[in-house]
Amino acid sequence: MSEYRNFKIEIFYDEEDKVWFAKFPELNGCMNHGDTPEEALKNLLGIKDEWLKIGKEAGWNMTKFKKSSTISSINNEGDSCNTTTVDDNKNITLTEN
């Protein structure tokens, strides 16, 4: 199981190049093409893990791409809200609002 969450995929046809493109809008430059939408998608999925690996190795901030669970709780007075985020590695972040 990947440490990264799922990403939105966009698939579109380019009239000028006469080819289908598939891309992850959130992953800058992570796109591929094919003769059919299915081929473009297959090719895109084939490079996603490499894109994420290169980003991690280059020291990019990959936190926003990781899976996480968010739990919100409100104190007894109801005048503040604490947000606790727990990622798959069991790292916990507490934010007081």
19 and 34 in a common domain:
yes
Q: Fill in the DSSP letter of residue 40.
A: H
CA–CA separation, 75 and 53 (whole Å): 40
CA–CA separation, 18 and 16 (whole Å): 6
According to the model, what pLDDT value does residue 8 have? Answer: 87
27 and 60 in a common domain:
yes
82 and 53 in a common domain:
no
Regarding pTM above 0.85, the answer is no
pLDDT in tens, 32-87: 999 999 999 999 999 998 998 998 899 988 877 776 544 443 444 455 544 545 44
Instruction: Provide the residue range defining the domain that includes 71.
Output: 67-96
How many CB atoms within 10 Å of residue 65? 18
pLDDT in tens, 21-33: 999 988 889 999 9
DSSP letter for each residue of 53-75: HHHHHTT---GGGB-EEEEEEE-
User: What is the number of domains present in the chain?
Assistant: 2
